[in-house]
């Protein structure tokens, strides 16, 4: 069975790192579940291309709105091999560190921890 991995993209510099991780996970055959913050949409547009996030979204098998706090990855009983948050903004880092599960990305990180 292919490993299931959650990829969280937030609005820090390094959008290309997030994109590259997505590509590597895909090349490894991982079942990749992606959630991106609104700020990540901005950094992808500024650092890669205006349609970069849209193109990534079209390639992702599983893509969730950051507001969808009822998505499967929000549940601690949804088994995964792990979660990667990259790039990780200071805002998202602090939300994860303090269990501020106010978005799907932060909630998914919370249940992974």
List residues near ligand FMN by CB under 6 A.
10-13, 37, 39-40, 42-43, 46, 89-92
Least distance from ligand FMN to the Cβ atom of residue 11, Å: 3
Q: Give 16-24 contacts, CB < 8 A, sequence gap 24+.
A: 16/47, 16/48, 17/86, 17/87, 18/44, 18/86, 18/87, 19/44, 19/48, 19/52, 19/56, 21/84, 21/86, 22/56, 22/59, 22/60
* Cβ 2 to ligand FMN shortest distance, Å: 28
Q: How far is Cα 31 from Cα 51, in angstroms, rounded to an integer?
A: 23
In the bound state, the residue with its beta carbon closest to ligand FMN is 11
Nearer to ligand FMN by Cβ, of 61 and 102: the residue is 102
Indicate the residue among 32 and 43 with the shorter CB distance to ligand FMN. 43
| Least distance between ligand FMN and beta carbon 56 (Å) | 15
């Amino acid at each position: 069975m292919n490993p299931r991995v959650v990829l969280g993209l937030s609005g820090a510099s390094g959008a290309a790192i997030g994109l590259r991780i997505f590509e590597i996970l895909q090349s490894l055959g991982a079942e990749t579940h992606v959630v991106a913050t609104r700020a990540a949409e901005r950094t992808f547009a500024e650092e890669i291309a205006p349609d970069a996030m849209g193109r990534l979204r079209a390639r992702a098998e599983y893509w969730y709105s950051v507001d969808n706090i009822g998505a499967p990855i929000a549940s601690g009983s949804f088994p995964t091999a792990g979660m990667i948050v990259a790039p990780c903004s200071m805002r998202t880092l602090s939300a994860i560190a303090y269990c501020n599960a106010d978005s799907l990305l932060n909630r998914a990180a919370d249940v992974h921890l």
